[in-house]
Chain A
Amino acid sequence: MSGGGRPLLGGDRTGLVGIDPRIRLLSATVFAFVAVSLEAIPALVAAVLIGAAGVVVARVPAAAVFHRLLALDALMLLVVATLPFAMPGETLLQWGGVVASREGLVRAVEILAKANAVVLMLLALLHGVPAPTLAHALQRLGLPDRLVHLLFFTVRYLDVLGGEYVRLRRAMTARAFRPRTDRHTWRSLGWLVGMLLVRSFERAERVLAAMKCRGFDGRLHSFADLRMRAIDGAFAVAGCGVLAGLLWLEAR
């Protein structure tokens, strides 16, 4: 539960470390909406290539890229496999009574390309940003304080709860628990989830006590120095150029 191997609480070591997280967040969001609005194949191919180039420039570890794309494309493969048979259109392949259409295949490839382009760009722009810094960036972009605080604390608890879950599952395995489709399994899982929640409540109380000891008054102070610099402006202008290029390819 540590966030798929990304540094939830660690430092940013990617090639985009010098760029303000707010610019990175905004760029990722705008790129995502532009990418999903594309329909022309050349524009979609370009979007995927730009995402891939971003991953290379940001020096995202290959293992992280592989795992993320594997998780995405394993699901997307089902789209590619089923959509040609679900959409009517020009016959591409006929097997028994089942017909695969060209339109369905094109739509499946479109969705596949959009999803991969956006995920690659998200990896490139946000993989290295520690979650607390991301929370502060969201706060500075106008997200309500309460949401930001909850996001911040949720991140704080993720590793804790994930570790607790692993410990409890290990204890169950040590007692020869094997999940099956029966009442014993559901009752055991219910106890597991219940105990996880009980322990998370207890942990929340201990964390609050520890924070009060350190003078917590309900406000979170950031060590992240979020200041716009010339390089951020240059990055934003370059990003706008890339998006303009994609839209030009789409309109051609």
Chain B
Amino acid sequence: MHIMEGFLPAPHAAGWALASAPFVAHGVWRLGKAVRKHPETKLLLAASGAFCFVMSALKIPSVTGSCSHPTGTGLGAVLFGPSVMTVLGTIVLLFQALLLAHGGITTLGANVFSMAIVGPWVAWALFRIVRGVGGSLAVAVFAAAALGNLATYVTTSMQLALAFPDPVGGIAASFAKFGTIFAVTQVPLAVIEGLITVVVVNVLSANSRPELQALALLPKEAR
């Protein structure tokens, strides 16, 4: 869910950009290491970036100036890791902001933080935790994709609540209000994204195993 252009006050826009910068820098550094090792990774990652774009183009209007769509961050985080996904997400969001007016230049930092940082890291952590306690690949992928998606929306709700606190109930009341509004569309969408991602990982395991293993992109558990 992109926060649209003009929606955040300028100090918030700048603040979220500053908060996102270290994560993006870390992702670029990690990406550099991966590309030096396997130069062909760059093209594969670009294809994945375009794929994320195609996924995020499937948007459903939501209220309060945002729109809902599958984030694809869970899948990306499981396949490529959260750092790389931060870079891919930033590229897709930058492209959308500059050329398609989807999201915005001033809200780029906030959108990167929710969609390219929180979503992938939560998805990746959940995947590792579920696999760590002996959960099946399908359960781990479902949890990563569905809850990674939801984490994105919880973050966006918090960003909007911080920008527009309720005059009576403050940030908490505003967060509850935004969260409730998004939950109507997002909880079912998160479940659907989780189910679809499980099927996607099955398809990839059956058809692209050598490529993913050669590039060390598929986690050991999924090989």
A residues with CB within 8 A of B: 1, 3-4, 6, 8, 25, 28-29, 32-33, 35-37, 68, 71-72, 74-76, 78-79, 82-83, 86-88, 111-119, 122-123, 126, 131, 134, 144, 146-147, 149-158, 160-162, 165, 183, 186-187, 189-191, 193-198, 200-201, 203-205, 207-208, 211, 218
Contacts and interface: CB of A to CB of B under 8 A. Distances in A.
Contacts of A114: 5-6
B105 A156 contact: no
Interface residues of B, number: 68
Contacts of B13: 33, 36
B36 to A, nearest CB: 10
16 contacts: A1-B54, A36-B9, A72-B4, A82-B63, A111-B7, A112-B6, A113-B6, A154-B46, A154-B53, A157-B46, A161-B47, A201-B44, A201-B47, A204-B40, A205-B44, A218-B42
B51 A150 contact: no
Given A29-B105, A32-B105, A33-B13, A78 B65 contact: yes
Given A158-B50, A190-B203, 4 more contacts: A3-B99, A79-B7, A122-B105, A157-B50
B136 interface: no
B63 A78 contact: yes
A114 B8 CA distance: 10
B216 interface: no
A114 B92 CA distance: 23
A208 B40 contact: yes
B106 interface: yes
A198 B43 contact: no
Nearest to B40: A208
Contact of B100 (A4, A33, A153, A207): A4
B46 A78 contact: no
B200 interface: yes
B51 A32 contact: no
B167 interface: yes
A146 B32 contact: yes
A151 B98 CA distance: 12
B46 A156 contact: yes
Nearest to A144: B28
